[in-house]
Amino acid sequence: MTRAWPPLPFEGWRDTYATLHMWTQIVGKVCLALTPLSNHFWNIAFRVTSRGLATPQMRSGALTLAITFDFIDHELVIQTSDGRVERLPLAPRTVAQFYTDVMEALQRLGLRARIWTMPVEIPDPADRIPFERDEVHRSYDPDAANAFWRVLLAIEPVFERFRGGFIGKGSPVHFFWGSFDLAVTRFSGERAPEREGADSITKEAYSHAVISHGFWPGNGVVPMPVFYAYAAPEPDGFSGAKVRPAAAYYDTAFKEYMLPYDAVRTAASPADELAAFLQSTYDAAADLAGWNRPELERR
């Protein structure tokens, strides 16, 4: 049980998490530069693989490429369609050095990707350092990185089964490097009211009514890994809905239901505990929002 759903205490890997977040943003922005936009920026999301996290296929000139964070051999692997491979060790180094190493590896492969080097979705201004100047984040604990990936491996099949019960528009199960979370989202098909003051990314993400679920490792405000569930726009009464399991709660600051990962990990059946959270929060949000469930769900 412990190996399949390993512990992931926030403070125990906080520095590695912060560094890995920046490293994934560098690779993610390469993906942004080399893929066409698809719905809700799904083109830039990573997928969980049997070795780590990987980009979708990208294209540069005549070459197709993909980049993988390998959390078994602890390498960043850049593979191209002409058979060439660049491998960069995942080991303690500054974000600035990692950025340089990635850009130089792409150049050796004859690939060009110009990216905006400012990190995104980082709430603390002190952490928003351009990649090429970031000498602060420099930690990498291979055991912690491997544990994080194994958590994603355990979660993904539960998310995939949940996704399979919905026949309306739904996202893939994907990892967003901006927010550093694994997510799956369902759409009612109805346009959502435009959010006042929203940037282009937020407008694209919430152009239609959604119910979204995910896993997030936490931050300084929520210093623990959690599962989350939210509806946008949020229907009246959602915050007071009866959801399962008992450890789930509504966070008024985030306007989301949260379920501590440890409550799932230590349950008799973690997969069943997580499935109950996904289904009960969806049921509450969809019913309160008046979604046309018979037309959207597999029966």
In the prediction, which pLDDT does 241 show?
98
Looking at every residue in the chain, the average pLDDT score rounds to: 96
Overall average pLDDT of the 103-115 stretch:
96
CA nearest neighbour of 58 among 12, 22, 112: 112
In the prediction, which pLDDT does 14 show?
97
Q: With H, G, I as helix, E, B as strand and everything else as coil, classify residue 118.
A: coil
Phi, psi at residue 157, to the nearest 5°? Answer: -65, -30
Q: Which residues pair with 53 in a beta bridge?
A: 48, 69
What is the rounded CA–CA span in Å between residue 51 and residue 267? 26
CA nearest neighbour of 53 among 63, 62, 45, 65: 45
| 43-97 per-position pLDDT tens digit | 999 999 999 999 999 999 999 999 999 999 999 999 999 999 999 999 999 999 9
Please tell me the pTM assigned to this model: 0.95
Residue 18 scores a pLDDT above 60 = yes
CB 159 within 8 Å of CB 173 = yes
What is the rounded CA–CA span in Å between residue 169 and residue 185? 9
| 148-166 per-position pLDDT tens digit | 999 999 999 999 999 999 9
User: Which of residues 129 and 199 earns the better pLDDT score?
Assistant: 129
User: Which of residues 264 and 112 earns the better pLDDT score?
Assistant: 264
Residue 229 scores a pLDDT above 70 = yes
What is the rounded CA–CA span in Å between residue 102 and residue 95? 10
In the prediction, which pLDDT does 1 show?
38
Q: Could you please report the per-residue DSSP string of 61-72?
A: TTEEEEEEEETT
Overall average pLDDT of the 131-135 stretch:
98
| 231-270 per-position pLDDT tens digit | 999 999 999 999 999 999 999 999 999 999 999 999 999 9
In the prediction, which pLDDT does 2 show?
42
Distance of CA 238 to the CA centre of its chain: 24
Q: Which residues pair with 202 in a beta bridge?
A: none
Banded pLDDT at 116 (limits 50, 70, 90) = very high
Please state at what angle helix 95-108 crosses helix 10-34, rounded to 10 degrees.
30
- Residues in Cβ contact with 259 at an 8 Å cutoff, skipping those fewer than 6 apart: 226, 227, 228, 245, 247, 248, 249, 274, 277
